[in-house]
Amino acid sequence: MRRAGAAIPSLCASAVLIACGAQSAHGATRTVVFPFELIDATQTAGAFGYDAPGGLPQGPSKAETERLARISADLRERVAKDARFTLVPEADVAAEVAAKQPISQCNGCEDDIAKSAGARLALVATVEKLSDLLFNFKLYLRDVREQKLTAVLSTTVQGSTDEAWARGVRHLAERQLHAAGVPE
């Protein structure tokens, strides 16, 4: 037979968990996470002597385009798990993002997009292709209210594989972004 008093510690523990969850959700900063974009440095390969017609391929390959989609989704999932952030749903900004791409070159439009979605922060993500096997992954964390960059996070990935790209995102999100300060 169960005693009525046995449920009290269990209820108290539940109340503590709920209160902690509410506290972290309350302190979370509304954030737009933009999808990764490829900046292909090999396209401007004039310095390497490849500027003649028939030189290096132009634009991302099919595999790179698929990887960009996968790592964008992975980044969103990892940022969503960080209690400091509340993500703006992708659908809320998708049309504006599509109209102004590439976001990394839109001269501050990321701030306008984030503000219109009611966000305080914008996280712009890029992959800079330096060669077929060398990539710089970067995250730019912007305080859109103050219109300033608060953190630039970067890691270099060697390898053009799904695993190498996933490892790069994992490092940025779990180590560097976790250590970055978030404006209050």
Mean pLDDT for the chain overall? 81
Q: What is the pLDDT of residue 183?
A: 77
Q: Give the C-alpha separation, 56 to 45, whole Å.
A: 8
Domain ranges of the chain: 29-179
Return the pLDDT at 2: 42
Question: Half-sphere exposure of residue 102, counting CA atoms within 13 Å on the CB side?
Answer: 12
- What are the beta bridge partners of residue 157? 135
Q: What's residue 14's pLDDT?
A: 32
Predicted confidence at residue 158, as pLDDT, reads 95
SS (H, E, C) 89-141: CHHHHHHHHHHHCCHHHCCCHHHHHHHHCCCCEEEEEEEEECCCCEEEEEEEE
Provide the β-strand partners of residue 86. Answer: 30
120-176 residue pLDDT tens: 999 999 999 998 899 999 999 999 999 999 999 999 999 999 999 999 999 999 989
CATH superfamily placement of domain 29-179: ABC-type transport auxiliary lipoprotein component (3.40.50.10610)
**Given this model, what pLDDT does residue 178 score?**
84
The reply to whether the predicted model has a pTM over 0.85 is no
pLDDT the model gives residue 17: 29
pLDDT tens per residue, range 31-49: 999 999 999 888 765 555 4
Predicted confidence (pLDDT) at residue 26 exceeds the cutoff of 90: no
